[in-house]
């Protein structure tokens, strides 16, 4: 593909003559540049890609896209003998360039985006299952993995939304596999950093919007605005035959008042507290799942799901609303929801034959921790023991709040590490402990601080008695933990299995 052809996909009139060269690939990391690539430079959180332009050229980059005017001036001299394109936003440019390089795959797919603070991954999987139950071919991109046909692709460590190059490549693979639909998890980082720009969304879904990632967005309003950009993209994206632009909104969430004014061809609402088009009646919660009657404009029908917790009713209602918007018959909606079983790191039960339950969940926000603990209470016959921490270099205000939530809703609390990064772990744990103390908990009696996460999990497992439930929260599906600036291999699943195995071996020796 040639540079001029790629640049023509950008949404700006650049007003300058651009040198033309053949382009063999795209890169934004100088260490990943191959000979013949177009290198896109942008300012990151910790480094500036413009500083690595010489290395990119040395590695074989044949052209540059930059957002720093100084780099454009340098390219006009003898510094860089390659074409250089100056754009207002290099991250946004990367998304359009990647889409063009892959042949604009999203224009050939029906694309459903799910955003929100909690429940995105579960809702994406429910929607995908409903589509598949109806006989549609569909791909999926979540913060856990990408699914194309029957092929799973790991989306990496601590990934929110994959980068724009990967997203467009996955969409291209879906198109090649003759998929009709693509279901994407759209995180606030993914939206703000244009990782899902040029995805040509047709349906936008929100789960909820609560305080989170304020370390990055600065204010709640900026965070909410990033989420809202998914809905604003509906009317700006490509029109497809017989595919209206649909917004699916949660009437019970404070975001509803903000999002409902954003234009869409159709709007469907869901919720439990009244006033929603898609709601639930006869709700029954049990340790093995949830059942309810879906109340919809197309009539009422029963839903039985294997996912636990009242919060998952919201995720199911959102997927029902999407199914109805796509004219999927009720029987297929019912089957699609029923077929979703345990999701990795989402209220996932770990069974090695012990007399108590151990559940792993990704809950790392105030709201999600409260939801997980409330669901745990429905599942347990005895006490709730929770193991959790809070990440370093992230929203500090939530730490005592999460400690207070755990203090109110759990019987025993073990505070531990969760990606402390360059912050002092003892200080993070102390901030969480403030909330536990506020809830009337006493250290060494019903809450403990154990910085080593593996040791903390062993401590909780050893404490558990018959009928208890141990909830290990905060890491879920993730496969690493960050100390300082380095990622170290980590798995809550392996730590739980090791703790359970040790305990069961000790019991057998008695």
Of all residues in the chain, what percent carry a pLDDT higher than 90? Answer: 84
Beta-strand relationship, 279-286 and 266-270: unpaired
Task: Check residues 153 and 264 and name the one with the higher pLDDT.
Answer: 264
Of all residues in the chain, what percent carry a pLDDT higher than 70? Answer: 95
| Across 174-181, average pLDDT | 96
Give, in order, the Cα–Cα distances in Å from 142 to each of 127, 163, 167, 309, 494: 12, 12, 10, 21, 22
Band of residue 404 on the pLDDT scale cut at 50, 70, 90: very high
The whole-angstrom separation of Cα 213 and Cα 116 is: 12
Per-residue pLDDT tens digits for 99-110? 999 999 999 999
* CATH for the stretch 102-338: 3.40.1190.10
pLDDT at position 510: 39
| Across 169-197, average pLDDT | 95
| Across 210-225, average pLDDT | 72
The whole-angstrom separation of Cα 124 and Cα 177 is: 19
The whole-angstrom separation of Cα 234 and Cα 325 is: 15
Q: Where are the domains of the chain?
A: 3-90, 102-338, 348-509
Is the predicted pLDDT of residue 201 greater than 60, yes or no?
yes
* CATH for the stretch 348-509: 3.90.190.20
Count of other CB atoms within 10 angstroms of residue 452: 12
Q: Computed over its alpha carbons, how large is the radius of gyration of the chain? A: 24
Helix/strand/coil percentages in the chain, nearest 5: 40, 25, 40
Band of residue 214 on the pLDDT scale cut at 50, 70, 90: low
CATH superfamily of 3-90: MurE/MurF, N-terminal domain (3.40.1390.10)
Is the predicted pLDDT of residue 241 greater than 80, yes or no?
yes
The whole-angstrom separation of Cα 189 and Cα 470 is: 31
Nearest to 255 by CA among 119, 112, 397: 119
Alpha helices (runs of H) in 80-219, residue ranges in sequence order: 90-101, 120-133, 164-176, 188-192, 214-217
pLDDT at position 151: 83
pLDDT at position 133: 98
pLDDT at position 71: 78
* 424 exposure class (CB count in 10 Å sphere: 0-12, 13-18, 19+): exposed
| Longest alpha-carbon distance in the chain | 81
pLDDT at position 212: 58
Give the sign of the dihedral formed by CA 378, CA 379, CA 385, CA 391: negative
Is the predicted pLDDT of residue 509 greater than 60, yes or no?
no
Is the predicted pLDDT of residue 425 greater than 90, yes or no?
yes
What is the average pLDDT score of the chain? 93
Nearest to 310 by CA among 293, 289, 294: 289
Nearest to 389 by CA among 427, 438, 421, 429: 429
Q: Residue 497 contacts by C-beta under 8 Å, 6 or more apart in sequence?
A: 350, 352
The whole-angstrom separation of Cα 11 and Cα 27 is: 20
């003759």: which residue's tokens?
178
Contact 316, 126 (CB under 8 A): yes
pLDDT at position 157: 55
Is the predicted pLDDT of residue 75 greater than 50, yes or no?
yes
Task: Check residues 215 and 229 and name the one with the higher pLDDT.
Answer: 229
């Amino acid at each position: 593909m040639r540079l001029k052809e790629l640049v023509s996909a950008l949404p700006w009139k650049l007003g300058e003559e651009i040198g033309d060269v053949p382009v063999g690939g795209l890169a934004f990391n100088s260490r990943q540049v191959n000979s013949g690539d177009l290198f896109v430079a942008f300012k990151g959180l910790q480094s500036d890609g413009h500083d690595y332009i010489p290395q990119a050229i040395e590695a074989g980059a044949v052209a540059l896209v930059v957002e720093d005017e100084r780099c454009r001036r340098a390219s006009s001299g003898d510094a860089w003998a390659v074409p250089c394109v100056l754009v207002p936003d290099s991250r946004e440019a990367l998304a359009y360039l990647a889409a063009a390089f892959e042949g604009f795959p999203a224009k050939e797919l029906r694309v459903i985006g799910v955003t929100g603070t909690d429940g995105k991954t579960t809702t994406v999987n429910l929607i995908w299952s409903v589509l598949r139950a109806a006989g549609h071919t569909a791909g999926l991109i979540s913060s856990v993995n990408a699914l194309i046909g029957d092929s799973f692709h790991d989306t990496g460590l601590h990934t929110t939304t994959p980068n724009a190059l990967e997203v467009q490549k996955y969409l291209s693979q879906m198109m090649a596999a003759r998929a009709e639909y693509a279901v994407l998890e759209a995180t606030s980082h993914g939206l703000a950093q244009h990782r899902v720009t040029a995805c040509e969304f047709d349906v936008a879904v929100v789960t909820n919007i609560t305080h989170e990632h304020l370390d990055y967005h600065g204010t709640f309003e900026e965070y909410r605005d990033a989420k809202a950009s998914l809905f604003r993209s509906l009317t700006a994206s490509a029109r497809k035959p017989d595919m209206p632009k649909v917004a699916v909104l949660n009437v019970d969430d404070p975001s509803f008042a903000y999002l409902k004014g954003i234009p869409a061809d159709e709007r469907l609402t869901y919720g439990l507290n009244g006033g929603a088009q898609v709601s639930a009646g006869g709700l029954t919660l049990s340790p093995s799942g949830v059942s309810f009657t879906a109340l919809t404009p197309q009539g009422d029908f029963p839903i039985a799901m294997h996912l636990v917790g009242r919060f998952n009713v919201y995720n199911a209602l959102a997927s029902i609303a999407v199914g109805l918007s796509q004219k999927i018959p009720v029987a297929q909606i019912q089957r699609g929801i029923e077929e979703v079983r345990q999701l990795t790191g989402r209220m996932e039960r770990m069974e090695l034959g012990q007399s108590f339950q151990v559940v792993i969940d990704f809950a790392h926000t105030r709201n999600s921790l409260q939801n997980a603990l409330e669901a745990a209470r429905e599942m347990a016959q005895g006490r709730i023991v929770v193991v959790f921490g809070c990440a370093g270099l992230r929203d500090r205000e939530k730490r005592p709040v999460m400690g207070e939530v755990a203090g109110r809703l759990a019987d025993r609390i073990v505070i531990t590490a969760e990606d402390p990064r360059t912050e002092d772990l003892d200080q993070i744990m102390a901030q969480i402990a403030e909330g536990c103390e506020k809830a009337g908990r006493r250290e060494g009696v019903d809450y403990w601080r154990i910085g080593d996460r593996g040791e903390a999990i062993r401590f909780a497992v050893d404490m558990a008695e018959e009928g208890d439930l141990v909830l290990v929260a905060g890491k879920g599906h993730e496969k690493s933990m960050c100390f300082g600036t380095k990622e170290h291999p980590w798995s809550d699943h392996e730590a739980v299995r090791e703790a359970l195995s040790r305990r069961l071996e000790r019991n057998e020796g008695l």
